[in-house]
Amino acid sequence: MAENTGGASETRFGICKVCWAGCPVEVTVENGRATKVAGDRQSPIYGGYTCPKGRAMPEAHYSPTRVLHPRKRMPDGSYIEIPMAQAIEEIAQRIEGIVAEHGAEAIAVYPGNGNLTNPINPVIGAMFIMAMGTFPDRFFSVQTIDQAGKVIAQALHGRWMAGPQPFSTSKTWIMVGTNPVISKQGVMVNPGQTVKQAVKDGMKLIVIDPRATESTAHAFLHIAPRPGQDASILAGILHVILNEGLYDADFVTANAVGIDALKAAVAPFTPDHVASVAGIGADEVVLAARTFAAAESGCVVTATGAHFPLHGTLCEYLALSLNTVCGRWVRAGEQHAQPHVLLPDVAIRAQPYAPYRPWDHGKTSRINALPQTVVGAPTGTLPDEILTPGPGQVRALICSGSNPAVSLPDQNRAGRALGALDLLVAIDVEMSNTGRMADYVIPDRMALETPACSQFSESMKYYGIWTGGYEQPYAQYAAPVVEPPAGSDTIESWAFFYELARRLGKQITYFGNAAGTGQHWDKPPVPFVLPLDKRPTTEEMFEAMCAGSRVPLSEVKRHTHGKVFHELDLTVLPRADDCTAMLQLGDPTMIAELAQVFEKRGDTANPSPEYPLLLIPRRANEMMNSIGRTNPKLAARRTHNPAYLNPSDLARFGLASGDIVRIRSEHGEISGVAEAEPRLRAGTLSMSHCFGTNPDEPDDPLGQGGCTSRLMDANAAYDPVFGQPRMGAIPVSIAPIATA
């Protein structure tokens, strides 16, 4: 960190970590406080890009709502401030008491997106639970209410070690249920510009989304289907490609098995069938298939829009299969498009990791008898794990950078569960929805107060294609830009877990440089047993995180604005002589699920006369899930959660933009504010998540907005492997609320 030069204004450089895009930023610091954030124009790849959330970091850091001292809830529901050491001691005592009476299974951890501020934080909760001896059963993460199907499908299909072809130079791309220009999912670096440039350079972009989005602006083809029909559409595209012989038979013969099973499974998905279930043109399916197959490079990718209505694993599996039949993986002699810089030096080969079964039947969860999987405990069951008595009942929950009071499906049940805990700890920066229910709120350090580095973004590639990563051998490290506000008593999340474990007499082993997931490891992680006598510094943790990296962290540190390490050789090597692994196109579980999807015309929820609209998710540019709602600068734009409808639906239900509405599903109801969106497919209602008040607080449609998770049933329909409830394509009704 540069010296604080008293009253003078100076410029420092950091990394924004509000989302995983990790944009380099230029920060104006006055009197030790960050006053302005702009994109770092000296960045070799980001081009000075930032979004409104990043530019509003100073307002978040110095927000009047920021929690700066640990808070303890009193019996009357009020909070008092206590010193950090006392908070840790009291929490440890309560955990000891719960463990003594009920066993370690009563303690659970749920980390979330507020943890991205330091790359150690998102993983340390899992390592704490390992130290408690209850991993993976008591480790609940957002992955299992997000896109865990990516990891599951990759396990069933096998992973191509050299990864997918690069986005920026591909000649076609099919995006299914993703809007990277806003979400940065898949494209982290200046996504608006990157998408525009790729199209300019000849990419035929195909977007499948019920809504015309920022990402469809440059599309060659935008298909706007009924929500929840993506598996049928992808099967239809495969049908055309396999039927017309448009695939890369040489690649398939050399690298994959199961093509006959796949061919048979997609045979019934004719363009006419797909058109009738998805409400699109048969010609659109054919055009997408022929365009994709004819181009020399490109991928099919899926994200939340495709995953939330269930069948996310199948959608991802079909996308991987499309990429495999068209040979869309980086080959020997080509440049690795997911290069390692802060990840370990590995000989990258044009070969698969063999498929494996990412769950076992040895042990099942208490709730819904779900199998143990590689993606941790099924978070959709967490409220019932808390509410259901018996051995193993969860009685204490530590939330780090997460907001389960609004992010868990079925908000009312989640609220009852959080309220029923013996101990709820929220490591947060404000009295979030969850914080307002917590026994203790532990103030974390914020993004500009912790060091940062790009390794986490690099490693996102292991969680399935289209998650993150850099196409160029880029890396950056940034020291903390400012100190936490004077007089505050904060602790980084990871350090809180360390101190708590130490006090409980447990030793945490941190696994650095984890280069893989499940059974597909480029290199196994490097264990670092955290010493009990002295807490490591965050810098020492960073060293452990980057242990054995291809470029030493110390070298990366020399380049303030980040660097593209052009000198690294990225040439992909041929398949090793002893490699016998083959990708699997005909996994029996997936083929069976596809048959069910055909039989049930999508096997998704359909609108009814009572619930005539389908609710679909969307990301807002001003928010990162619930983060940003209380930021004074961002809140000046809006704080509520508009209920976007096609104008024809507004007319159908007698509504006008700005009307306060009641939205109902079979399961629950919320209030909202109607807003016209002509670019949305009629029959859909598009809203963001993680808004709203708590169930015991008054409705606030124009202020905090409505929480869509209240409309979701956690147990009616869920993924059979990782238990994710249906979170998209939810039948709802809408009606005006008479206002006085």
Ligand X SMILES: Nc1nc2c(c(=O)[nH]1)N[C@H]1C(S)=C(S)[C@@H](COP(=O)(O)OP(=O)(O)OC[C@H]3O[C@@H](n4cnc5c(=O)[nH]c(N)nc54)[C@H](O)[C@@H]3O)O[C@H]1N2
Min dist CB 502 to ligand X, Å, is 20
Q: Indicate whether 146 belongs to the interface with Mo ion (CB under 5 A).
A: yes
**Exactly one of 22, 39, 166, 180 binds ligand X (CB under 6 A); which one?**
180
Q: Indicate whether 536 belongs to the interface with ligand X (CB under 6 A).
A: no
- Contact of residue 213 among Mo ion, ligand X, ligand SF4, none (CB under 5-8 Å per partner type): ligand X
Cis bond before residue 64 (omega within 30° of 0): no
- Contact of residue 178 among ligand X, ligand SF4, Mo ion, none (CB under 5-8 Å per partner type): ligand X
HSE value, Cβ hemisphere, 13 Å, CA-based, for 436: 11
Q: Indicate whether 452 belongs to the interface with ligand SF4 (CB under 6 A).
A: no
Is residue 573 within 8 A of residue 336, CB to CB? The reply is no
**Beta-bridge partner residues of 175:** 207, 301
Q: Indicate whether 305 belongs to the interface with ligand SF4 (CB under 6 A).
A: no
**Exactly one of 122, 228, 355, 602 binds ligand X (CB under 6 A); which one?**
228
- Closer to ligand X at the Cβ: 256 or 541? 541
* C-alpha of 269 from chain center: 30
- Contact of residue 442 among ligand X, Mo ion, ligand SF4, none (CB under 5-8 Å per partner type): none
Of 121, 122, 77, residue with least CA distance to 435:
77
**Exactly one of 446, 448, 478, 674 binds ligand X (CB under 6 A); which one?**
446
Give SS3 for 108: strand
- Contact of residue 715 among Mo ion, ligand X, ligand SF4, none (CB under 5-8 Å per partner type): none
Place of tokens 């890369």: 248
Size of the site for Mo ion (CB under 5 A): 1
Q: Indicate whether 170 belongs to the interface with ligand X (CB under 6 A).
A: no
Min dist CB 111 to ligand SF4, Å, is 18
Q: Indicate whether 23 belongs to the interface with ligand SF4 (CB under 6 A).
A: yes
Of 235, 227, 309, 320, residue with least CA distance to 273:
235
Q: Indicate whether 687 belongs to the interface with ligand SF4 (CB under 6 A).
A: no
- Closer to ligand SF4 at the Cβ: 21 or 234? 21
Structure tokens at 620: 């807002």
- Contact of residue 23 among ligand X, Mo ion, ligand SF4, none (CB under 5-8 Å per partner type): ligand SF4
Min dist CB 50 to ligand SF4, Å, is 4
Of 147, 251, 170, 331, residue with least CA distance to 585:
251
Beta strands in 258-375 (DSSP E): 298-302, 352-353, 359-364, 371-373
Alpha carbon distance 363, 357 (integer Å) = 15
Of 145, 140, 74, 158, residue with least CA distance to 356:
158
Site for ligand SF4 in 168-187 (CB under 6 A): 184
Q: Which of these ranges, 2-10, 48-56, 118-126, 217-225, lies near ligand SF4 under the rule CB under 6 A?
A: 48-56
Q: Indicate whether 619 belongs to the interface with ligand X (CB under 6 A).
A: yes
Q: Indicate whether 562 belongs to the interface with ligand SF4 (CB under 6 A).
A: no
Q: Indicate whether 114 belongs to the interface with ligand X (CB under 6 A).
A: yes
> How many other C-beta atoms can be found within 10 angstroms of the C-beta atom of residue 12?
19
Residues comprising the chain, all counted: 740
- Closer to ligand SF4 at the Cβ: 330 or 623? 623
Q: Indicate whether 699 belongs to the interface with Mo ion (CB under 5 A).
A: no
Alpha carbon distance 176, 179 (integer Å) = 9
Place of tokens 């597909």: 520
Q: Indicate whether 91 belongs to the interface with ligand X (CB under 6 A).
A: no
**Exactly one of 55, 72, 211, 273 binds ligand X (CB under 6 A); which one?**
211
Is residue 74 within 8 A of residue 363, CB to CB? The reply is no
Q: Indicate whether 291 belongs to the interface with ligand X (CB under 6 A).
A: no
- Closer to ligand SF4 at the Cβ: 173 or 456? 456
**Exactly one of 12, 13, 14, 22 binds ligand SF4 (CB under 6 A); which one?**
22
Q: Indicate whether 178 belongs to the interface with ligand X (CB under 6 A).
A: yes
- Closer to ligand X at the Cβ: 514 or 711? 711
> How many other C-beta atoms can be found within 10 angstroms of the C-beta atom of residue 428?
25
Q: Indicate whether 371 belongs to the interface with ligand SF4 (CB under 6 A).
A: no
Q: Which of these ranges, 14-22, 206-214, 562-570, 630-638, lies near ligand SF4 under the rule CB under 6 A?
A: 14-22
Of 143, 142, 153, 174, residue with least CA distance to 311:
153
**Beta-bridge partner residues of 643:** 674
Q: Indicate whether 51 belongs to the interface with ligand SF4 (CB under 6 A).
A: yes
- Closer to Mo ion at the Cβ: 121 or 733? 121
Q: Indicate whether 572 belongs to the interface with ligand X (CB under 6 A).
A: no
- Closer to ligand SF4 at the Cβ: 144 or 190? 190
Q: Indicate whether 142 belongs to the interface with ligand X (CB under 6 A).
A: yes
Residue 488, classified by CB atoms within 10 Å of its CB into exposed (0-12), middle (13-18) or buried (19+), is: middle
Q: Indicate whether 255 belongs to the interface with ligand X (CB under 6 A).
A: no
- Contact of residue 54 among Mo ion, ligand X, ligand SF4, none (CB under 5-8 Å per partner type): ligand SF4
Is residue 350 within 8 A of residue 575, CB to CB? The reply is yes
CA angle 482-487-490, nearest 5°? Answer: 70
HSE value, Cβ hemisphere, 13 Å, CA-based, for 505: 4
Q: Which of these ranges, 124-132, 227-235, 288-296, 528-536, lies near ligand X under the rule CB under 6 A?
A: 227-235
Q: Indicate whether 617 belongs to the interface with ligand X (CB under 6 A).
A: yes
Q: Indicate whether 145 belongs to the interface with ligand X (CB under 6 A).
A: yes
Size of the site for ligand X (CB under 6 A): 66
Q: Which of these ranges, 98-106, 353-361, 510-518, 625-633, lies near ligand X under the rule CB under 6 A?
A: 625-633
**Three-state SS letters, 408-476:** CCCHHHHHHHHHHCCEEEEEECECCCCHHHCCEEEECCCHHHCCEECHHHHHHHHHCCCCCCCCCCEEC
- Contact of residue 285 among ligand X, ligand SF4, Mo ion, none (CB under 5-8 Å per partner type): none
Q: Indicate whether 54 belongs to the interface with ligand SF4 (CB under 6 A).
A: yes
Alpha carbon distance 274, 282 (integer Å) = 7
Q: Indicate whether 216 belongs to the interface with ligand X (CB under 6 A).
A: no
Q: Which of these ranges, 139-147, 327-335, 415-423, 683-691, lies near Mo ion under the rule CB under 5 A?
A: 139-147
Q: Indicate whether 235 belongs to the interface with ligand SF4 (CB under 6 A).
A: no
Q: Indicate whether 729 belongs to the interface with ligand X (CB under 6 A).
A: yes
Is residue 665 within 8 A of residue 735, CB to CB? The reply is no
Long-range pairs of 12-15 with CB within 8 A, sequence gap ≥ 24? 12/481, 12/482, 13/40, 13/478, 13/481, 13/560, 13/561, 14/447, 14/448, 14/452, 14/478, 14/479, 14/480, 14/481, 15/447, 15/452, 15/453, 15/454, 15/476, 15/478
Min dist CB 146 to Mo ion, Å, is 4
* Residue 261 dihedral angles phi and psi, to the nearest 5°: -65, -40
Structure tokens at 697: 């607080």
Site for Mo ion in 433-452 (CB under 5 A): none
Q: Indicate whether 428 belongs to the interface with Mo ion (CB under 5 A).
A: no
Alpha carbon distance 470, 46 (integer Å) = 11
The residues of the shown chain that bind ligand X, judged by CB under 6 A, are 19, 112-115, 117, 142, 145-146, 176-180, 182-185, 208-211, 213, 227-228, 230, 303-306, 309, 400-404, 407, 427-430, 432, 434, 444, 446-447, 493, 616-621, 623-627, 686, 689-690, 708-709, 727-729
Interface residues with ligand SF4 (CB under 6 A)?
Answer: 16, 18-19, 21-23, 50-51, 53-54, 184
